[in-house]
């Protein structure tokens, strides 16, 4: 499971009623504007848990929608298929309780992490570094084992349920959103409701940035991997839906809901490739 704090999707999921009380907000209001700070200790997880197997010198991950990832655990980089965010992986066994995984895309380091299993083999921690953005994001994620320990395999083998985000670097903590209301040409009636001519700006503390219209079309996402795009649509006065794609392949879906008092943003994010859900709580930064 990888942690990234931005995703967006606009057309695959249906529109839904306002969540968390939109109150009397109108489409002309701008509740999303401002800088929002992730509260790591409030992060929750759901959907599919990662499943690893490491035995007889071979590493296997089999929980994603793509074909299983299978590479020798020899520390060398090996080509993988079907993964939009990396095309090579290396797995190195550090000791009976630890392994290191490194992912690359081309010659660029994309992500790396060290998985450490506890002495009783029921818990595991991941110390990761995400290098896909302009600024690396580091953190620590805690897991609990689902099911029994696999006899004869490395202790990292099994299915692991993410439990707690125990640390996230400042480079991964905030997003800034701005929206601008624009009148549609020759059509004043659209001003009271959804308007695809409305525009947005986005900036992340990891150096990512994008700007475009709220029309569910892809716009370039700078400060990230080449070929990254972002689309955005306003489903309700207090709900935005985002998608992030890589070279035309959908990789993340998110829905952002602003609370009725305008001070909290709930960002529900789905890793579209591996069907893992992360829900972040963000507080609005005060001046």
Residue 184: its pLDDT value, please? 60
C-beta separation of 107 from 88 below 8 A: no
What is the distance between the alpha carbons of residues 83 and 105, in angstroms, rounded to a whole number? 10
What integer pLDDT is reported at residue 155 of this predicted model?
98
> Could you tell me if 268 and 252 are in contact, meaning their C-beta atoms sit under 8 angstroms apart?
no
Domains of the chain (ranges plus CATH)? 34-43+172-284 (2.40.128), 47-170 (no CATH)
Residue 236 and residue 258: Cα distance in Å, rounded? 10
Are 215 and 237 in contact by the 8 Å Cβ rule? The answer is: no
* Per-residue model confidence as pLDDT tens for the chain (287 residues): 566 544 332 233 333 333 445 667 888 889 999 999 999 999 999 999 999 999 999 999 999 989 999 999 999 999 999 999 999 999 999 999 999 999 999 999 999 999 999 999 999 999 999 999 999 999 999 999 999 999 999 999 999 999 999 999 999 999 999 998 776 666 555 556 667 678 999 999 999 999 999 999 999 999 999 999 999 999 999 999 999 999 999 999 999 999 999 999 999 999 999 999 999 999 999 86
Give me the phi and psi of 192, to 5 degrees please. -90, -5
- Pick from 244, 284, 258, 263: nearest CA to 4: 244
> What backbone phi and psi angles, to 5 degrees, belong to 283?
-100, 145
Contacts by 233-236 with C-beta closer than 8 Å and gap 24+? 233/10, 233/11, 234/27, 234/179, 234/194, 234/198, 235/10, 235/15, 235/16, 236/15, 236/16, 236/17, 236/18, 236/19, 236/22
Alpha-carbon distance of 142 to 82, in angstroms, equals: 27
pLDDT at 15: 32
Model-wide pTM > 0.85: yes
CA 168 to chain CA centroid, Å, is: 13
């Amino acid at each position: 499971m990888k942690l990234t704090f931005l995703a967006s999707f606009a057309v695959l999921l249906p529109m839904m009623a306002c969540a968390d009380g939109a109150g009397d907000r109108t489409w002309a209001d701008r509740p999303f504007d401002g800088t929002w700070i992730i509260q790591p200790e409030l992060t929750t997880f759901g959907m599919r848990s990662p499943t690893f197997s490491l035995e007889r010198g071979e590493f296997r991950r089999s929980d994603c929608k793509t074909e299983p990832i299978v590479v020798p655990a020899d520390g060398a980089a090996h080509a993988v298929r079907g993964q939009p965010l990396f095309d090579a992986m290396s797995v190195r066994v550090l000791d009976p309780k630890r392994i290191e995984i490194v992912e690359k895309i081309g010659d660029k380091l994309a992500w790396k992490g060290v998985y450490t299993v506890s002495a009783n083999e029921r818990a595991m921690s991941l110390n990761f570094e995400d290098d896909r953005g302009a600024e690396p994001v580091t953190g620590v994620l805690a897991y609990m084992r689902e099911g029994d320990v696999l006899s004869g395999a490395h202790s990292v083998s099994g299915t692991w349920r993410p439990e707690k985000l125990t640390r996230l670097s400042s480079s991964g903590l905030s997003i800034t959103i701005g929206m601008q209301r624009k009148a549609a040409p020759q059509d004043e009636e659209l001003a009271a409701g959804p308007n695809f001519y409305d525009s947005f700006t986005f900036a992340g503390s990891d150096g990512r940035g994008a700007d475009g219209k709220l029309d569910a079309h892809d716009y370039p996402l700078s400060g990230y991997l080449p070929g990254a795009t972002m689309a955005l649509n306003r489903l309700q006065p207090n709900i935005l839906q985002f998608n992030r794609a890589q070279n035309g392949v959908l990789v993340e879906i998110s829905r952002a809901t602003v609370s009725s008092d305008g001070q909290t943003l709930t960002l529900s994010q789905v890793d579209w490739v591996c069907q893992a859900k992360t829900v972040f709580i963000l507080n609005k930064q005060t001046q």
